């Protein structure tokens, strides 16, 4: 057959397949969730594309997923009447990994199976998870509106083959030839249970064959089909009917995580704007949280329950890129495009409302005294990202500032856990500023000579060591009427003499040091603005201080490294 060809997998796919088969084995059930989720995506795509091009439906509007098994052949098949794939699409999608950063991701794997399983889970296990339980996978598919179908076959080694086939109905059928020892999946009860556990809220019917009574079977009656899943999108149901398990399962399916979420918020907003949002915060940061090109699965946009697009960047500000979930609008037009979304007032309102909900969710988590570790988990994973909101979102700056957590000179715990409110509550008498120091590392911050006078005066100082801190502090000038003051900037008045006696002594010291100051000035020349006697040091002989309005030494270093 001249239409048969054998092709090699992209090197990354080969590597991922090997890792997955070994690391994911203890989670082998995920194949069901992944394949059903792909079927559901393909139905979503058909429904969406079909709005513009009715021919894709081929006069067969039925949108469904089905699962069947064959005990003799030892196969399980997952089929859908979705959009299907052309030959080019099959090559592109089932032979390569398009995701950006795949290489970096694979390089970050440690070889420790448990850890890697977490990472692979985050990356999205996807179609290739079929090979965890199957020794051979066959995909028959035909794109809506096309006349020719294609069959993709592979044993998960280095290659796959393609051949042209006739396929009557549009859509895709994935057949798994189970590995030795995986016969548990050739069982009606087991498969139904998987569907209910992982895919109950898929918005399309998932069909399985009826179980025949022994009598009917004897009579040779053919089993009909019946729907196994609940079949309504979770977010459309009343909160009172949704259990925590339901929320968690929906999250894992819709947001491609395989751990439970940390927390979520579900809201139906009515009035001039009608929309529903169901927003989750994961337990763990994705590996590409700080990759500028990284496209984490974020918030999906639906309009009247029809899936419109993934990861619409306008739905959430960048500093909330850790949020996952869905927003379903009743008012946006079904044919919205990314371009329309760029400047859409309806969407601006939806976004502002959703941001408020997320901030509210974080606030209540931060206040929750029964589970304080929950907010700490959030902060450790995503605090650096939330901080960006201080700069990006002026309107909510005060709320975000309340959510910040710091390491300080008076807090010995391993995690940054001091809030600005706590800091203010234990300010020294007469203290009117919030003091902070920025540095590359915690050790560097802690041992800075700038801190000596603060130790002596028993004043707490925030220790800032994240890359974004300089930038953030440049945009946050005050909190609750207290201004922020870098301990490395300007003429701190902390060393000021308190009594007449001290004053006289300081004056005398300054007189005596005149020669020394002149000599140091001469030696350093152009490199410094000024040399002066200080009382802020207790152990070190000298320190560098930045101009009050200039950039700090730390920022200067960062800029230099960046080649500025
Ligand atoms: P992801 O779903 O995260 O994109 P997958 O590995 O699960 O990654 O799938 C890869 C791609 O293969 C999908 O994006 C989709 O384009 C295509 N695909 C997989 N299964 C189907 C299917 N049942 N129908 C149509 N396309 C599919
Ligand atoms: Mg998928």
Q: Which residue has the higher pLDDT, 73 or 506?
A: 73
Is the pLDDT at 319 greater than 80, yes or no? Answer: yes
Where does the pLDDT of residue 550 fall: very low under 50, low under 70, confident under 90, or very high at 90 and above?
A: low
Say which residues have a Cβ less than 8 Å from residue 218's Cβ, sequence separation at least 6: none
> Are 531 and 523 a contacting pair, CB within 8 Å?
no
Closest ligand relative to 129 C-alpha: 1
Give the global pTM.
0.73
Tokens of 168: 């009557």
Atom 15 (ligand 1): residue with closest C-alpha? 93
Atom 23 (ligand 1): residue with closest C-alpha? 39
Residue 100: predicted pLDDT: 67
Nearest alpha carbon to residue 190 among 217, 208, 212, 172: 208
User: How far is the centre of ligand 1, averaged over its atoms, from the C-alpha of 316 (Å)?
Assistant: 25
pLDDT one-digit tens code per residue, 176-234: 999 999 999 999 999 999 998 778 878 899 999 998 888 888 898 888 999 999 888 89
Mean pLDDT throughout 159-171? 97
> Are 264 and 280 a contacting pair, CB within 8 Å?
yes
Say which residues have a Cβ less than 8 Å from residue 296's Cβ, sequence separation at least 6: 286, 288, 289, 311, 321, 324
Mean pLDDT of the chain: 88
- The preferred substitution site among 100, 127, 172 for testing ligand 1, maximizing ligand atoms within 8 Å of CB, is 127
Q: Is the dihedral of CA 164, 165, 170, 172 positive or negative?
A: negative
Is the pLDDT at 329 greater than 60, yes or no? Answer: yes
3-class DSSP state of 5: strand
Residue 343: exposed, middle, or buried by beta-carbon count in 10 A (0-12, 13-18, 19+)? exposed
Atom 17 (ligand 1): residue with closest C-alpha? 93
**Opening angle at CA 51, ends 50 and 57, nearest 5:** 25
Question: What residues does 464 pair with on adjacent strands?
Answer: 438
Comparing 365-374, 496-505, 509-518, the range with the smallest average pLDDT is 496-505
Q: Which residues are annotated as a binding site?
A: 34, 38, 80, 85, 99-101, 122-127, 172, 338
Closest ligand relative to 124 C-alpha: 1
Between CA 188 and CA 190 the distance in angstroms is: 6
- Atom from ligand 1 closest to the CA of residue 84: 25
Residue 203: exposed, middle, or buried by beta-carbon count in 10 A (0-12, 13-18, 19+)? buried
Between CA 201 and CA 198 the distance in angstroms is: 8
User: How far is the centre of ligand 1, averaged over its atoms, from the C-alpha of 42 (Å)?
Assistant: 8
Where does the pLDDT of residue 310 fall: very low under 50, low under 70, confident under 90, or very high at 90 and above?
A: confident
Atom 11 (ligand 1): residue with closest C-alpha? 93
Cβ neighbours, 10 Å, residue 131: 23
User: How far is the centre of ligand 2, averaged over its atoms, from the C-alpha of 125 (Å)?
Assistant: 7
Residue 554: predicted pLDDT: 67
- Atom from ligand 1 closest to the CA of residue 82: 24
Residue 177: predicted pLDDT: 98
Mean pLDDT throughout 355-374? 95
Closest ligand relative to 311 C-alpha: 1
User: How far is the centre of ligand 2, averaged over its atoms, from the C-alpha of 234 (Å)?
Assistant: 19
- The preferred substitution site among 31, 32, 43, 93 for testing ligand 1, maximizing ligand atoms within 8 Å of CB, is 93
Closest ligand relative to 86 C-alpha: 1
Comparing 13-17, 108-112, 267-271, 361-365, the range with the smallest average pLDDT is 108-112
Is the pLDDT at 93 greater than 70, yes or no? Answer: yes
Is the pLDDT at 491 greater than 60, yes or no? Answer: no
Say which residues have a Cβ less than 8 Å from residue 73's Cβ, sequence separation at least 6: 177
- The preferred substitution site among 34, 38, 298 for testing ligand 1, maximizing ligand atoms within 8 Å of CB, is 38
Residue 562: predicted pLDDT: 62
Is the pLDDT at 278 greater than 90, yes or no? Answer: yes
What is the 3-state secondary structure of 257-292? CCCCCCEEEEEEECCCCCEEEEEEECCCCCCCCCCC
pLDDT one-digit tens code per residue, 451-481: 988 998 899 999 999 989 999 999 998 999 9
Where does the pLDDT of residue 490 fall: very low under 50, low under 70, confident under 90, or very high at 90 and above?
A: low
User: How far is the centre of ligand 2, averaged over its atoms, from the C-alpha of 60 (Å)?
Assistant: 24
> Are 130 and 40 a contacting pair, CB within 8 Å?
no
pLDDT one-digit tens code per residue, 245-266: 999 988 988 887 878 999 999 9
Residue 353: predicted pLDDT: 94
> Are 283 and 394 a contacting pair, CB within 8 Å?
no
User: How far is the centre of ligand 1, averaged over its atoms, from the C-alpha of 38 (Å)?
Assistant: 5
What is the per-residue DSSP string for 417-448?
-B-HHHHHHTPPTT--EEEEEE-SSHHHHHT-
> Are 177 and 138 a contacting pair, CB within 8 Å?
yes
Residue whose tokens read 């859908």: 80
Between CA 268 and CA 232 the distance in angstroms is: 16
Q: Which residues are annotated as a binding site for ATP?
A: 34, 38, 80, 85, 99-101, 122-127, 172, 338
Is the pLDDT at 60 greater than 90, yes or no? Answer: yes
pLDDT one-digit tens code per residue, 395-437: 999 999 999 999 999 998 899 999 999 999 999 888 999 999 9
Mean pLDDT throughout 14-22? 85
Who surrounds ion ligand 2 at CB < 5 A? 38, 126
pLDDT one-digit tens code per residue, 132-155: 999 999 999 999 999 999 999 999
Between CA 497 and CA 499 the distance in angstroms is: 6
- Atom from ligand 1 closest to the CA of residue 80: 23
Closest ligand relative to 310 C-alpha: 1
3-class DSSP state of 31: helix
User: How far is the centre of ligand 2, averaged over its atoms, from the C-alpha of 18 (Å)?
Assistant: 18
Question: What residues does 418 pair with on adjacent strands?
Answer: 406
- Atom from ligand 1 closest to the CA of residue 94: 12
Ligand 1: lining residues by beta carbon, under 6 Å = 34, 38-39, 41-42, 80, 82-85, 93-94, 124, 126-127, 172
Atom 18 (ligand 1): residue with closest C-alpha? 38
- The preferred substitution site among 41, 80, 129 for testing ligand 1, maximizing ligand atoms within 8 Å of CB, is 41
User: How far are the Cα atoms of 62, 257, 488, 531 from residue 451, in angstroms, in the given order?
Assistant: 70, 43, 9, 19
Atom 8 (ligand 1): residue with closest C-alpha? 126
Residue 536: predicted pLDDT: 66
| CA torsion angle 101 42 266 420 (round to 10) | 10
pLDDT one-digit tens code per residue, 282-301: 999 887 787 766 665 589 89
Q: What are phi and psi of 28, to 5 degrees?
A: -60, -25
Angle formed by the axes of helices 113-123 and 11-23, nearest 10°: 120
Between CA 387 and CA 319 the distance in angstroms is: 7
Between CA 412 and CA 433 the distance in angstroms is: 22
Closest ligand relative to 98 C-alpha: 1
> Are 167 and 140 a contacting pair, CB within 8 Å?
yes
Q: What percent of the chain has pLDDT over 90?
A: 56
């Amino acid at each position: 057959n001249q239409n048969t060809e054998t092709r090699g997998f992209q090197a990354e796919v080969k590597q991922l397949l090997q890792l997955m088969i070994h690391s994911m084995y203890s989670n082998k059930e995920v194949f069901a969730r992944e394949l059903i989720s792909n079927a559901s995506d393909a139905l979503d795509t058909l429904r969406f594309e079909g709005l513009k091009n009715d021919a894709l439906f081929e006069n067969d509007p039925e949108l469904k997923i089905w699962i069947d098994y064959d005990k003799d052949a030892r196969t399980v098949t997952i089929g859908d009447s979705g959009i299907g794939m052309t030959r080019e699409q099959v090559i592109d999608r089932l032979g390569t990994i398009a995701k950006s950063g795949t290489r970096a991701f694979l390089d970050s794997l440690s070889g420790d199976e448990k850890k890697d399983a977490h990472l692979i889970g985050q990356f999205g296990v996807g179609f290739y998870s079929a090979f965890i339980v199957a020794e051979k996978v066959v995909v028959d598919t035909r794109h809506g509106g096309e006349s020719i179908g294609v069959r993709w076959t592979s044993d998960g080694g280095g290659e796959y083959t393609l051949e042209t086939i006739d396929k009557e109905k549009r859509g895709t059928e994935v057949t798994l030839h189970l590995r030795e020892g995986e016969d548990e999946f050739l069982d009606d009860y087991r498969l139904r249970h998987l569907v209910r556990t992982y895919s109950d809220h898929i918005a399309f019917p998932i069909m399985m064959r009826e179980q025949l009574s022994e009598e009917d079977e004897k009579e040779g009656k053919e089993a009909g089909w019946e729907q196994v899943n609940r079949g309504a999108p979770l977010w459309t149901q009343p909160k009172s009917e949704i259990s925590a398990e339901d929320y968690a399962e929906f999250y894992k399916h819709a947001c491609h995580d395989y751990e439970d979420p940390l927390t979520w918020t579900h809201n139906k907003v009515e009035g001039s704007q009608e929309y529903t949002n169901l927003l989750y915060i994961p337990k763990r940061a994705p590996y590409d949280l700080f990759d500028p090109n990284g496209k984490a699965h974020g918030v999906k946009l639906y309009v009247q329950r029809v899936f419109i697009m993934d990861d619409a960047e306008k739905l959430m500000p960048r500093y909330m890129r850790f949020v996952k979930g869905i927003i379903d609008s009743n008012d946006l037009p079904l044919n919205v495009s990314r371009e329309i979304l760029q400047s859409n007032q309806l969407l601006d309102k939806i976004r502002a409302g959703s941001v408020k909900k997320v901030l509210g969710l974080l606030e209540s988590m931060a206040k929750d005294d029964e589970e304080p570790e929950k907010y700490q988990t959030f902060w450790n994973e995503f605090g650096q990202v939330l901080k960006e909101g201080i700069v990006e979102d002026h309107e909510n700056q005060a709320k975000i500032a309340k959510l910040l957590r710091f390491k300080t000179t008076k807090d010995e715990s391993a995690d940054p856990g001091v809030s600005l409110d706590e800091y203010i509550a234990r300010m020294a008498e007469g203290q009117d500023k919030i003091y902070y120091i920025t540095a590359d590392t915690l050790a560097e911050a802690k041992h800075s000579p700038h801190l000596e006078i603060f130790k002596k005066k028993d004043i707490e100082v925030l220790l800032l060591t994240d890359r974004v801190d300089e930038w953030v502090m440049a945009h946050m000038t005050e909190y609750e009427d207290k201004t922020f003051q870098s301990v490395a900037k300007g003429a701190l008045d902390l060393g000021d003499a308190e009594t007449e006696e001290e004053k006289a002594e300081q004056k005398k010291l300054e007189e005596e040091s005149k020669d020394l100051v002149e000599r140091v000035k001469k030696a350093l020349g152009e490199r410094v603005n000024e040399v002066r006697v200080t009382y802020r040091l207790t152990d070190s002989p000298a320190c560098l201080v930045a101009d009050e309005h200039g950039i700090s030494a730390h920022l200067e270093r960062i800029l230099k490294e960046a080649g500025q």
